[in-house]
Amino acid sequence: MYILEGTFECYGFDAETDALVDTQVCGPGSSVYIPSMEPHGMKNLSQDEVGRFLCCIANVYEDEEAL
């Protein structure tokens, strides 16, 4: 994800236990990499300001053909 506007708190969770394992605050110009299929979340920290981000999702599985 690439943060365009606003400030987000980004979370990473353990895939087996759903326990919180990482938290980072990210603002404009920050990029966040999440490995495919890893549980994660993010929260806009402002009640008044818009938060905007770009998200690129590219899942390709071995048993599926990529078009």
Residue 38 pLDDT greater than 80, yes or no: yes
Confidence of residue 65 (pLDDT cuts 50, 70, 90): low
25 part of a folded domain? yes
Q: In the predicted model, what is the mean pLDDT of residues 52-61?
A: 83
6 part of a folded domain? yes
User: Exposed, middle or buried, 8 (CB in 10 Å: 0-12/13-18/19+)?
Assistant: buried
67 part of a folded domain? no
pTM, 2 dp: 0.76
What is the number of structural domains in the chain?
A: 1
Residue 61 pLDDT greater than 90, yes or no: no
10 part of a folded domain? yes
